Amino acid sequence: MLRYDSYDIVLQEIPNEISLCFTITGCQLACEGCHSEHLWDPEDGKELTFDFFERLITKYKRTITCVVFMGGEWNDSELLALISIAKKANLKVGLYTGLNEKQVKRKYPNLLTNLDYLKTGKWISDLGGLDSCKTNQVLKDLVTGKILNSYFYH
């Protein structure tokens, strides 16, 4: 069962979407300089049960337009089940992962075909995040193929 550290309704993660965003615990990537090492322990956080997830979707579906998972691709079958619940409520779904798109395509092809947004790229402090023009990270609208990084430049 996937576990989460926290959830919140956010505006900044996906441009033009109001997102219910879950931070999933158990990240296996161990990026050098990770700003969230507390997310590495798979036993940390609370269980993200289907029942709890469905109740949150029912509660917020008139407020939100999207659900974002920060991690969780390592349990793709469970993530796909959660994505399916969100899709039934006509919500878009995004995934933030430290993998690159090629790796996601190779390891979790079913995820790619069920997501609307994908943010890829491990954290490299010298290159910065989405607000840096030299970043290795990419936020992509998988429906249109458009790269959305420019929304984060100030």
Quick one: which segment of 28-36, 72-80, 101-109, 140-148 binds ligand SF4 (CB under 6 A)? 28-36
CB of 55 to ligand SF4, least distance (A): 26
Q: Is 95 in the site for ligand SF4 (CB under 6 A)?
A: no
In angstroms, rounded to a whole number, what is the distance separating the alpha carbons of residues 55 and 61?
10
Which residues, 6+ apart, have CB-to-CB distance to 126 below 8 Å?
none
In angstroms, rounded to a whole number, what is the distance separating the alpha carbons of residues 50 and 41?
21
Q: Which is nearer to ligand SF4, 30 or 81 (CB)?
A: 30
Token pair listed for 117: 């947004």
Q: Is 122 in the site for ligand SF4 (CB under 6 A)?
A: yes
Q: Is 30 in the site for ligand SF4 (CB under 6 A)?
A: yes
Contact string 33-52 vs ligand SF4 (x = CB under 6 A) = -x-x--x-------------
CB-nearest residue to ligand SF4? 98
In angstroms, rounded to a whole number, what is the distance separating the alpha carbons of residues 48 and 58?
15
Say how far residue 70 (Cα) sits from the centre of its chain.
4
CB of 122 to ligand SF4, least distance (A): 5
Is 101:78 a contact under the CB 8 Å cutoff?
no
Q: Is 111 in the site for ligand SF4 (CB under 6 A)?
A: no
Which residues, 6+ apart, have CB-to-CB distance to 46 below 8 Å?
3, 4
Residues that bind ligand SF4 (CB under 6 A): 27, 29-31, 34, 36, 39, 98, 122-123
